[in-house]
Amino acid sequence: MSRLDDLTGRKFGKLTPIEYLKEHKKWLCRCDCGKEIKVYATNLKQGRTVTCGCTKEWYGDIVGKKFGRLTVKKNLGYDKNKKSTLYECECDCGKIKTVARKSLLRDKAKTLSCGCLHDELFSNNREKTGYIDNTYVSMLESKHIRSNNTSGYTGVTWCKLKQKWKSQIGFKNKNYHLGYHDDIQDAVNARKDAEENIHGKFLEWYYNCYNKEKD
């Protein structure tokens, strides 16, 4: 349980987690209608499951009711293009968003916030995995050598076509070619220089910005 994110008492749509069922690896949740169901944590956090499946509200007035972080404020009328009634909703963060009725009421609601919920989950997940500014910090630190590497050095491979050693480096979803070399040591040196100039500066910024200590 030490690694488990405690969801007890938190609200996900109409569901409130009340107990973690270790044997099922699911949360026992109580719906606003009174029914209890078992739900995976990821389905709750990502808004895939927000009710027990009850559909009572499909036919009633929903102004004033809350769905996730959204409180319905005003009925804006039926939209022929969306084939649904539109509502003006206010998010807990204060932003106003227009949402289709079906996006609020379906069992797996599409809309639970103005967008801030997705941003928070996405940001938290990236920070946990060390993904900062389009870069996986852990990969820069580990300098892992791929199984198909032919040189024993990260970023250095043998090019059969040119019969030379090729050095390269990746950073922020881009790949930088560092040249072809007759001597493998020249290719390794080119890679190390690039690591110091590109990866090194980024890691220095990361350690200072996030108050991290270099291993």
- Indicate the average pLDDT of the chain: 79
The answer to whether 87 touches 67, Cβ cutoff 8 Å, is no
Rounded mean pLDDT, 161-186: 89
> pLDDT tens-digit profile of 17-47?
999 999 999 999 998 777 899 999 988 988 8
Confidence band, pLDDT 50/70/90 cuts, at residue 114: confident
Q: Is 139 helix (H, G, I), strand (E, B) or coil?
A: helix
Of the ranges 142-146, 185-189, 190-194, which one carries the lowest mean pLDDT score? 142-146
What is the model's pLDDT at position 203? 75
What is the model's pLDDT at position 212? 58
Residue 1 has pLDDT above 50, yes or no: no
Question: Of 30-34, 131-135, 163-167, which one has max mean pLDDT?
Answer: 163-167
Rounded mean pLDDT, 105-116: 71
177 or 33, greater pLDDT: 177
Rounded mean pLDDT, 179-188: 93
Q: How far apart are CA 206 and CA 137, in angstroms?
A: 8
Q: What is the DSSP letter of 199?
A: I
Q: How far apart are CA 65 and CA 184, in angstroms?
A: 68
Q: How far apart are CA 188 and CA 175, in angstroms?
A: 16
**pTM score:** 0.37
Do β-strands 164-171 and 36-39 pair in parallel, antiparallel, or remain unpaired? Answer: unpaired
The answer to whether 51 touches 107, Cβ cutoff 8 Å, is yes
